Chain A
Amino acid sequence: MFIPHTDVERQEMLKTIGKKELSELFNVIPEEFRYPELDIPPALSEMEAQQQFSNLADANNACDEMACFLGAGAYNHYVPATVDFLLHRGEFFTAYTPYQPEISQGTLQAIFEFQSLIANLTGMDIANASHYDGATAAAEACISAYHHFRGKRPKLVLSPNLNPQYLETIHTYFGMLDGSKLLVPEEQTAFSDPDQLATLVDDQTALILMQYPDFLGNIYDLTALTTKAHEQGALVAVSVNPIALGLLKPPADFGVDFVVGEGQPLGIPMSFGGPYLGFFATRKELVRKISGRIVGETVDGQGQRGYVLTLTAREQHIRREKATSNICTNQGLMALAATIYLSLLGKSGLRQVAELCYHKAHYAAQQIAGLEGYKLINNQPFFNEFVVECPKNVSVINQHMLEHGLIGGYDLEKSYPKLKNQMLVAVTELNSREEIDLLVDLLEEARHE
């Protein structure tokens, strides 16, 4: 199957190396630990494997058979057919990191185009080749800022309205840096005001990290916050939803230093949480301070344009223990998916998707706000996610909706015990008016249940 050796070839090869049996190759392994009996099921044929996995896939009730209003960091967007067809090309998916540029120009140019698209989408000067996901990209922004000031500014101010999983990830990453201090204001409401947060930035602060739109859907102007932070000498990072940037001002307009985010909405399936795509963009003055791979344009001996991995002196394999990050394998194929997606949608398509999300979400919010017992919490503009206060426990309501073929919004109480009966609803271009009306009807029903 996957091992091509015939008996004859195996014997010839053993003879060449002067062995009689394959087992002689392992004499170096302590005998008492050699050849354990593995208690795993016997091999399946391809046909049987396909059937077993098909049964398991059918055991899921996923968003292919239910309407989905769940977001909170992963979104059910349409993935155009072209994206996956091109990802299926073995020349892309069976290659590895482009260490040899002469035979990796496909991967290298695609990454270069990814960097260009992300830079233009966020309004920043440059972007890197990717991080694991939105959470680790945010953590890497914190680490870059911390090292930028050589640890002399130990404090990081994190918006309480940052995706809670990102906050947890940053806490894990910073647990390692003795002396660093993460400041997350305790109050968690839908009205966390950036200008209030800015007052926490002082001359000990390396970075303030915001989310745009924030975890509860709100859109804030971050210009004043950025100015105040810069007055204190601190850097500003923003985690963004890339689809929202099809419609909204890019964070570069606020003057921020780092823009990071989760690239999953850009043509990557939800796939139960991964693999996704972290993106990371910054100003050109800071390019040497960031981690992750970067591709640059150059020429060969004949003057022909080509691309190489560049600024490698920042990275773990050169800088060894002085590197600020150990990232090497990143999300190459997912970055390619986002590159194809953004190229295909282009200027008009991304705007169209963003507007569809916006209008459908606002229609849903208006309809829900009209229901007795339900209240729209956001008092700021929002994009495609918003918070609804419900007349009863969100898990009870969601259970009722699930029984009618609909996956409800995120129960905010799971992340914030204070936000009882509050549901974070996400709407995308895939939600039809019928689905939204069903959501509204089921919410109404759930009140009486």
Chain B
Amino acid sequence: MSEPTIYEISSPGRTGIEYAHLDVPPSELPDAFLREELPLPELSELDIVRHFTHLSKLNYSIDGGFYPLGSCTMKYNPRINEVTARMPGFLKAHPLQPIETVQGSLVIMYLLQETLKEITGFDAVTLQPAAGAQGELVGSLIMRAYHRSRGDLKRTKVLVPDSAHGTNPATSSMAGFEPVNVPSDARGNVDVDRLRELCDDTTAGLMLTNPNTLGLFDEHVLEVIDIVHQAGGLVYGDGANLNALLGVTRPGDLGFDIMHINLHKTFSTPHGGGGPGSGPVAVADFLADFLPDPIVAIIEEGTDEMPPLYGFVHPPHSIGRIKSFHGHFGIIVRALTYIMMQGPDGLRSVAEHAVLNANYLMELLKQDYTLPYDRDCMHEFVLEGVWQDAEGVHALDVAKRLMDYGMHPPTNYFPLIVNEALMIEPTETESKQTLDVFVDAMKKIAKEAHEQPELLHEAPHNTPIGRLDEVKAAKDLVLCCWRPEEE
């Protein structure tokens, strides 16, 4: 049963909310500018509550069950985060208020900057980027600004391994670089020989996802970083997979120069059905002056009687502002809440259990699915969703069939270097029982693929709706449920 749209349940004259009467004398309205028609729906409050409650029930979510979507780190979102982020003192703070009136907010931003520096081993952090992809863009712009500041205008190429995150090539070209593909070796590492050949005085840098999208930690990471540095390039770390490294190693110590961090992955802030995310960027000392404007700092040291005064500072060679105001403050509060409740031991335990869960699943599933890179994984791993003796069955079919078993499918068809990829990231918040249920389902599906492939082709069977016609959607382009001229 599909849910009608808000325009379909609208009834002329109905209202969802009444505002207080005007308490000042009315002024003349600007006739020339008044709109004649305001084509919005008309619903009661209960109409709205029922409609959106019905819609919510059509969604799969972490709260509803296992969500092993690779590279997205779908861990549990603690409820206390929602409480702290909604405290009225935070929620009702205007971003342009005088700094003296928002010291609480500024302390939170400062603490998160400092904490992220310590966790990642970098020297300076901006909290401004709105999402990981914007963080990547900031990192790329910093790379560009750094080379230009040295008068080094030849560096136009950014190396992107084929095991990197999908946004990396688009980010590089958006930042005005030419992305150059670097292949992987047989063990899923960056091909060091090829990297050496590709590095020259036109190399602006390397965008390295480590652990990469195969879930593998590069076995030659120090050598890889050194090769790029020797060529005069910078090494950018895509921090989307930071969950595997918390308290275990610090990318800054390994020699990375820049890294973005996804607060909505590693630090438990909700994914919101597709955002808001938050993508802080951390850099080594020599790049701090290029960070986006502004950064939170102590602008007057405290005394015995007075606490320090926090405020904004403007990095001298900043790449500029990349969005309004100071970043996704509400997400920043949630992430800091989470980190403060973990402490150093808790963070390390997060990484250890995320990696334990992934290796446990990998060990149990490699009997039934092809595991193209068979070595200890980090927080995720990639299987092939295809068998030579199960003709016509694809990763997509496995993914759809998993829904019938009540679970969210893994990321599929990514990374591109694995045939019919199924990328599985369990996260540390899932119990052994949940993982065992998933393993059972995956094993059954592998069996079905051979014995009853039609079950997979026709899946899902138990969802609110069947497989949807994506070709029709792109051809007909119905992007809006109601327009005034249709009346």
Contact = CB atoms under 8 A, between A and B. Distances in A.
Q: How large is the interface on A (under 10, 10 to 19, 20 to 34, 35 or more residues)?
A: 35 or more
Interface in B160-218: 166-167, 169-176, 179, 217
Contacts of A104: 58-60, 273
Interface in A253-303: 253, 262, 269-276, 284, 287, 293-302
Given A60-B90, A100-B403, A165-B324, A326 B133 contact: yes
B324 A73 contact: yes
B467 A363 contact: no
Given A62-B90, A86-B52, A262-B324, A349 B179 contact: no
A15 B352 CA distance: 15
Given A2-B76, A89-B56, A273-B95, A347 B40 contact: yes
A284 B177 CA distance: 31
With most chain B CB atoms within 10 A of its CB, the pick from A84, A102, A119 is A102
A336 B482 CA distance: 18
B40 A100 contact: no
Interface in B318-373: 319-331, 333, 337, 339-350, 352-353, 355-357, 359-360, 363-364
Contacts of B141: 172, 175-176
Given A176-B141, A275-B130, A221 B343 contact: no
A98 interface: yes
Contacts of B136: 326
B150 interface: no
Nearest to A119: B480
Interface stretch (A187-195, A229-237, A309-317): A309-317
B56 A132 contact: no
Contacts of B329: 271-275
A115 interface: yes
Interface string B44-83: 0100110111011111111110010100101111101011
Interface in B89-138: 89-98, 100-105, 107-108, 115, 118-119, 121, 130-134, 136-137
A49 B27 contact: no
Contacts of B394: none
A136 interface: yes
Nearest to A352: B19
Contact of A113 (B6, B45, B330, B414): B6
Contacts of B55: 105-106, 109-110
B222 interface: yes
A160 interface: no
Contacts of A362: 27
B155 interface: no
A125 B478 CA distance: 10
A52 B340 contact: yes
With most chain A CB atoms within 10 A of its CB, the pick from B27, B34, B82 is B27
A143 B372 CA distance: 40
B48 A60 contact: no
Contacts of A23: 352
Given A5-B431, A113-B481, A245-B35, A36 B95 contact: no
Interface string A324-338: 111111111110100
Contact of B5 (A17, A57, A113, A316): A113
Q: How large is the interface on B (under 10, 10 to 19, 20 to 34, 35 or more residues)?
A: 35 or more
Contacts of A393: none
B24 interface: yes
A287 to B, nearest CB: 7
A299 B67 CA distance: 25
A308 B67 CA distance: 19
Contact of A306 (B39, B431, B468): B468
B430 interface: yes
B19 A429 contact: yes
B24 A436 contact: yes
B220 to A, nearest CB: 10
B96 A70 contact: yes
B151 interface: no
Contacts of A72: 96
A361 B305 CA distance: 42
Contact of B273 (A98, A307, A399, A402): A98
A150 interface: no
A30 interface: yes
Given A113-B5, A346-B42, A64 B327 contact: no
Contact of A12 (B62, B119, B121, B432): B432
B316 to A, nearest CB: 16
Given A40-B344, A106-B59, A304-B466, A96 B130 contact: no
Contacts of A112: 5, 479-481
15 contacts: A22-B355, A42-B344, A103-B463, A120-B40, A120-B484, A133-B130, A168-B320, A175-B141, A270-B95, A287-B479, A328-B131, A329-B132, A329-B277, A334-B276, A352-B18
Given A33-B253, A311-B477, A321-B172, 18 more contacts: A2-B75, A13-B356, A14-B356, A17-B363, A28-B217, A60-B101, A70-B96, A93-B77, A96-B271, A102-B465, A133-B325, A136-B323, A169-B320, A247-B34, A334-B276, A343-B40, A363-B25, A432-B23
Closest 7 pairs between A and B when the two form their complex, measured CB to CB: A273-B325, A57-B89, A43-B343, A333-B272, A90-B63, A273-B95, A332-B274
